[in-house]
Amino acid sequence: MKNLVAILLFFCSIALNAQISVNSTNYPEIGDQIIWDIDTSASSYTIGSAGTSQTYTFTSTDAHFSDTVDYVSATGTPYSSDFASSNLASFSDSIYTYYNKSSSILEIDGYNSVLPIINQNVVVNLSDVELIANFPINYNDLWTDYSNFDVTIAVTSLPVDSGRMVRWRQKTVNVDGAGQITTDYGTYDCLRQLVVTNTWDTIWTGINIPFVGMTWTQISASVSTDSSYEWISDHPNVDAPLVKAAVDAAGNILELEVNRMPLTTSLGETANKTFSIYPNPTEGQLFFSEVNTAYRYEVIDAQGRTVLNNRLNRNVALDLESGVYFIRILDEKGHAINQEKLVVK
């Protein structure tokens, strides 16, 4: 009997300390739209602790501004001819970033950017691609990646003929925490990873002197270290980090980015619905097949704003303008157990 109890306790301890594993389906795919709420005065929040069974809380954050990133097929985008091997692209603020994504890796092949000082758009094709993730991602993973580019362009905005920029980057990722994270959009099992990036940039301008050739002058050289924490999840509604926090050398949070992805995955729906919601489309009256008063329902508009958040009842009257919304059901722990598109006539 004692042996049986010991065995049971052993397996219970394993279950309690089991950690999630994040794979490629939990990172962006073609058709995703990710909206980041960015809090630029987040010093009152803390990054929490490393280790297992941790609790991380980022609720009541302020969205001083938002950033929307759309993910599309690389084919047919403005710079696709420069990135023939890329199978995914993202677009935000006129910047395209090109990726290679598979079940085992996510890496950046390059992007278009504005060259500093010279202030001209340039296509940057990485000589050594930048690794974003090795899949699956597990607690205690640790890796270092090196990437670089060397790009030269003809300059039209300065009294010089050419500009050149060389960048070397070293990135170390340490998956140092595991547990649960809570944001204004729900509670999720998570892993925490620390990302430390060291960057060396050098910029030259060149003048083509007759009978001499191109003469280069170094005009800028810089070294920087950036540190951030990311919280990632294996939840089926999550296709990117839930939260990203830029930190200073002491670990104080400088800026928070909170992902609305659980609500706004390209008008996505959960694959396994545990509730029936009808009629849909609706003219304002909505019924639920199951009722648990500990559960809540949320209605989110196409811009990702929560317009209704109430206790679950058998039927509800929706005072909403005609349009397309999301409706999702949250259990007593704040987990989204159902999400689908809702059409209001």
Residue 338 lies in a domain: yes
Instruction: Report if pTM > 0.85.
Output: no
CA–CA gap between residue 219 and residue 202 (Å, rounded):
8
Sign of CA dihedral 332, 334, 340, 343: positive
Could you tell me which residues come within 8 angstroms of residue 201 by beta carbon, excluding any fewer than 6 positions away? 116, 165, 166, 167, 220, 221, 222, 223, 224
Residue 270 lies in a domain: no
CA–CA gap between residue 111 and residue 113 (Å, rounded):
6
Residue 122 lies in a domain: yes
Report the pLDDT value the prediction gives residue 261, as an integer from 0 to 100: 64
219 and 331 both lie in a single domain: no
69 and 112 both lie in a single domain: yes
Q: For residue 289, which phi and psi values (nearest 5 degrees)?
A: -70, -25
325 and 224 both lie in a single domain: no
Report the pLDDT value the prediction gives residue 34, as an integer from 0 to 100: 85
109 and 217 both lie in a single domain: yes
206 and 338 both lie in a single domain: no
What residues make up the domain containing 117?
A: 19-259
117 backbone φψ class: left, alpha, beta (φ>0; ψ -120 to 50) = left
Last residue of a domain, one of 226, 259, 292: 259
CATH label of the domain that carries residue 328: 2.60.40.10
181 and 294 both lie in a single domain: no
CA–CA gap between residue 47 and residue 2 (Å, rounded):
42
Residue 7 lies in a domain: no
Which of helix, strand or coil describes residue 188? strand
Could you tell me which residues come within 8 angstroms of residue 7 by beta carbon, excluding any fewer than 6 positions away? none
137 and 85 both lie in a single domain: yes
87 and 220 both lie in a single domain: yes
Q: What is the dihedral of CA 89, 173, 21, 272, to 10 degrees?
A: -30
Of the candidates 61, 37, 42, the residue with the CA atom closest to the CA atom of residue 253: 42
Q: Which residues of 275-298 are buried (b: 16+ CB within 10 A; e: fewer)?
A: bebeeeebeeebebeeeeeebbbb
The conformation of residue 289, written as its DSSP 8-state character, comes to S
Residue 13 lies in a domain: no
318 and 196 both lie in a single domain: no
CATH label of the domain that carries residue 110: 2.40.360
The per-residue DSSP string of 120-187 comes to EEEEEEEEEEEEEEESSB-TT-EEEEEEEEEEEEE-SSSSSSEEEEEEEEEEEEEEEEEEEEEETTEE
220 and 295 both lie in a single domain: no
Residue 12 lies in a domain: no
Report the pLDDT value the prediction gives residue 276, as an integer from 0 to 100: 79
Last residue of a domain, one of 203, 232, 259: 259
Residue 234 contacts residue 300 (beta carbons within 8 Å): no
- Give the pLDDT of the chain (345 residues) as one tens digit per residue: 545 444 444 444 444 456 899 999 999 988 787 888 899 999 999 999 999 999 999 988 887 888 888 888 999 899 999 999 999 999 888 899 999 999 999 999 999 988 787 788 899 999 999 999 999 999 999 999 999 999 999 988 778 899 999 999 999 999 999 999 998 878 899 999 999 999 999 999 999 999 999 999 999 999 999 999 999 999 887 888 999 999 999 999 999 999 976 544 333 444 344 567 889 889 989 998 877 888 888 887 765 677 888 888 888 889 899 887 878 787 776 666 777 778 898
Strand 277-278, strand 253-259: pairing: unpaired
155 and 209 both lie in a single domain: yes
Determine whether 210 is exposed, middle or buried from the number of CB atoms within 10 Å of its CB (0-12, 13-18, 19+).
exposed
Residue 38 lies in a domain: yes
Report the pLDDT value the prediction gives residue 304, as an integer from 0 to 100: 61
Residue 233 contacts residue 190 (beta carbons within 8 Å): yes
Long-range contacts of range 139-143, CB-CB < 8 Å, 24 or more positions apart?
139/19, 139/52, 139/175, 139/177, 139/178, 139/191, 140/175, 140/176, 141/173, 141/174, 141/175, 141/193, 142/172, 142/173, 142/174, 142/175, 143/172, 143/173
Upper half-sphere CA count for residue 241 (Cβ side, 13 Å): 20
Of the candidates 267, 263, 287, 284, the residue with the CA atom closest to the CA atom of residue 276: 287
Give how many domains the chain has, as a whole number: 2
Upper half-sphere CA count for residue 263 (Cβ side, 13 Å): 29
Residue 283 lies in a domain: yes
Long-range contacts of range 87-93, CB-CB < 8 Å, 24 or more positions apart?
88/28, 88/29, 88/30, 90/28, 92/67, 92/68, 93/67
Report the pLDDT value the prediction gives residue 5, as an integer from 0 to 100: 45
Last residue of a domain, one of 232, 259, 286: 259
162 and 66 both lie in a single domain: yes
CA–CA gap between residue 142 and residue 151 (Å, rounded):
30
